[in-house]
Amino acid sequence: MAADAPRSSRPLRAARLDAAGDPFDDATNIGGDRYLEFENLVRRQLELLGEEPARDGLAKTPSRVAKSLTWLTRGYQMDVQDVVGDAVFDEEHHSMVMVRDIELYSMCEHHMLPFFGKAHIAYIPNGKIVGLSKLPRIVEVFSRRLQVQERLTEQVAAAIEDVLKPLGVGVVIEAYHLCMMMRGVEKQNSKTITSALRGAFRDDAKTRDEFLRLAYAPSNPLR
């Protein structure tokens, strides 16, 4: 971002990811004025909710919320290219590669409440593969922002397509949304499932069926 960008449009700096201890605490480097402004907003929010921001239990809450929200949305400061780095390798493997049950935490942009669940990702290489641990990191780039699940699913698929130019890519996300769960007992168990299918996963029925069967299979060898 340009150095002369107006202050109001400058995002808070994200926390470093490699810090030990409470990761929220590491969001202290979000910077002077912006940080104070954020704290003041949370303090005002508490007042509007009918609370007394000065009481003991709440005294440090504005600071904590500013740090945690900054950390939970650190995806804005992350970039797929940075995350993948040089972990793309030439490989003449042409069968499906799949990573299942990638833990996912995000926040819905309509209510700023968490949604969480699992992502299942598969692709068919076209001469290149990516280090398996990079797939969860790609999910992080997009999940640690204000999101809707549909867009998140598409963005992950698009990023993998972009990095690997594979013969096909499929992404399924299953998630629980607190904005639904916290508003009524009937919705406690409703899970939202989204999928994004590209290339062979979209065009070839056999590939698509194999992927969806694997993605939805309930078994987990370690549990």
User: One of 52, 110, 150, 188 is an active-site residue; which one?
Assistant: 110
- H or E element: which one contains 216? helix 205-216
110: annotated active-site residue: yes
Collapsing DSSP to helix, strand or coil, 47 comes out as: helix
93: annotated active-site residue: no
Q: CB neighbours (10 Å) of residue 102?
A: 20
- Cβ-based nearer residue to Zn ion, 88 or 146: 146
User: One of 108, 120, 140, 155 is an active-site residue; which one?
Assistant: 108
- Cβ-based nearer residue to Zn ion, 77 or 192: 192
109: annotated active-site residue: yes
CB of 177 to Zn ion, least distance (A): 6
CA distance 51 to 123: 50
User: One of 51, 77, 154, 179 is an active-site residue; which one?
Assistant: 179
Q: CB neighbours (10 Å) of residue 182?
A: 11
- Cβ-based nearer residue to Zn ion, 164 or 180: 180
Collapsing DSSP to helix, strand or coil, 30 comes out as: helix
CB of 75 to Zn ion, least distance (A): 17
CA angle 210–99–94, rounded 5-degree value: 60
Q: How far apart are the first and last CA of the chain?
A: 45
Residues lying near Zn ion in the complex (CB under 5 A) are found at 108, 110-111, 179
- Cβ-based nearer residue to Zn ion, 106 or 195: 106
Scored b (16 or more CB within 10 A) or e, 64-76 reads: bbbbbbbbbbbbe
179: annotated active-site residue: yes
- Cβ-based nearer residue to Zn ion, 108 or 172: 108
Helix crossing, 149-164 with 134-143: angle to 10°? 140
CB of 182 to Zn ion, least distance (A): 10
149: annotated active-site residue: yes
CB of 110 to Zn ion, least distance (A): 4
Collapsing DSSP to helix, strand or coil, 123 comes out as: strand
94: annotated active-site residue: no
**Using an 8 Å Cβ cutoff, are 15 and 76 in contact?**
no
CB of 113 to Zn ion, least distance (A): 6
User: One of 45, 51, 77, 111 is an active-site residue; which one?
Assistant: 111
111: annotated active-site residue: yes
Q: Which residues are the active-site residues?
A: 108-111, 149, 177, 179
